[in-house]
Amino acid sequence: MTHLRVGDLSAVRSIIRERSRKQLVVILAPNFEERSTLCCEALLEMIRAECQVHPDAVRISWIIFTLQGRHSPTFLDAIKAVNVRKVIRSLHVSEQREKVVHKILEYPIDQGRFVSELALLMRGIPTIGELIVDYSAFPRNLLSALIEEVEKSGELSSKFPLVENVTLLYAWSESYPKAAGPELLGEVVGHFSRLPLRSLLEGRNHAEVVIFAAGTTHDTFSLLESVRDNGMGNQIGIHLVNFVHTDNLLESRLKLRNHYTILRDAPLHGVQVRYVFTVRHALAYMRDVARICVQATEEGSRSLLAIGSFGPKPIAVGAQFVVQEFLRKCSLVGDARADVLNSRGSQYLSPYSLGSSKIGVFEYQPRGSSTSFLE
C-alpha cells in the first residue's frame, strides 16, 4: 500500500458505517465559495442513510473553523457567514449538535498557532481512529501545516492526539470567473525551506524540477527562468506538466491558451512537456520523476527534487506527500534535497470559484505500511 492514494466516496461510506468502532473527527472550513459546503452535505447524507439502519450508532465529533480577515467586513464575509450558519444548522438538524465545536480564527495566522488552535479543539480525544478533512476552502499553507502535524501525531513533539487514518476531501468547482486571480506579492519559494529555486539548486549536481502549468504564467515563467542557464546541462530534468482536467475541459483549455507561448518555446530549451488527465495520473507522474531522483541519489549524486504544485489544491497535496516520501527514501542513502514550490504571499481578493462539482478523495495512513512508493 502506498503512503497516499486516490480513493473515492465508497471509502468514506465505509468509514461512516464503522464509526461506532473508532473515534471519528471531521474538520470543516466553510468560506464564501459555494463548494465549501458540499462535502458536509455529502457526509450528512451518508450519515442519514446509515442511521436508518443503525440509529444508535456513536456520534461524530465535528470541528468547524472560520478564517476571518482583519479588514472591514465585505460582501464575501457576509456570504461566508451564511455558509457557516448553513453548515452548523445542517449539523443540528441531523442531531449532531452535542459534538460540534466552532472557532473563528483571525487570518492571516501563523501556522504554528493554527495547529495549536486545532489541537485545543481536539482536547480530550486520546486517539482519532478516523480523521476526515474537507480541505476545499483551506489556504494551502495551513493545509500543509495540518498534514505535517498529522504525520507526527502521537509523538512527543506533536500537539495532536494519535491519528490512525486520514481521509482528505476536496470539492471541485464547476467553473472559475475570468476576473478571479491571485495578487502576486512575492517570488516563488519552497514551502519547507522558504528558499527560491536558484538557492535550492546551489551545491546540487543533479535535479528534477516539475512545474505544473496550471497556475499563473508568472509562476511558470519565473521557475523556468530560474533553471535556464544553470550550468547543469543534462543533469537537470525540467518537466512542464499540463493538468487537463477531464471534468472541466473548458477551464483546462483556458489555462493551455494562457501558457501557449511558454509551451511552444519550452522544447527549444530542453524542457519536457507532458500532459496528465486525472489527479491519480498527476500523482503517478510525480512519483515517476521522484524515482529518477532517488536512483541518482543512490548512485552518489547530490540531488534535488522540486515540484511547482500550481493549479488545483489536490496537486499541491500530492506534491507534498511525494516530497516527504522521497526524503524518507533518501535519508539513509545519500545527499538529497526536496521541496514544494509555491507563490509566497499570494491571496485571492475576489470570488475564486463558481458552483460545485464532484468530490475528490485521498486516503492516508500516518502509521500505515512502510512500503515505499518505489517498490
- For 65, the 3-state DSSP assignment is strand
Helix axes 75-93, 38-51, angle to 10 degrees: 10
DSSP 266: G
Region 266-277 average pLDDT: 92
H/E element, 69: strand 61-69
Please give the pLDDT value at position 214. Answer: 78
Segment among 90-104, 121-135, 140-154 with least mean pLDDT: 90-104
Distance CA 360, CA 358 (A): 7
Q: What are phi and psi of 219, to 5 degrees?
A: -60, -50
DSSP string, 79-131: HHHHHHHHHHHHHHHTT-GGGEEEEEEEES--HHHHHHHHHHHTTT-SEEEEE
**Residue pointed to by grid coordinates 515540484:** 307
Region 157-173 average pLDDT: 95
Region 4-16 average pLDDT: 95
Could you check whether the bond before residue 30 is cis, i.e. omega within 30 degrees of 0? no
Distance CA 65, CA 102 (A): 6
Region 321-349 average pLDDT: 84
Segment among 59-73, 156-170, 192-206 with least mean pLDDT: 59-73
Region 265-273 average pLDDT: 91
The per-residue pLDDT for range 183-207, each reduced to its tens digit, is: 444 678 999 999 999 999 999 999 9
CA–chain centroid gap for 260, Å, is 26
DSSP string, 216-254: -HHHHHHHHHHHTT-S-GGGEEEEEEEE--TT-HHHHHH
- What does the block give as the cell for 71? 479588514
Please give the pLDDT value at position 41. Answer: 96
CA–chain centroid gap for 178, Å, is 23
Confidence band (pLDDT; 50, 70, 90) for 174? confident
Please give the pLDDT value at position 20. Answer: 75
Please give the pLDDT value at position 355. Answer: 78
What's the mean per-residue pLDDT of the chain?
Answer: 88
The per-residue pLDDT for range 232-253, each reduced to its tens digit, is: 778 999 999 999 988 888 888 8
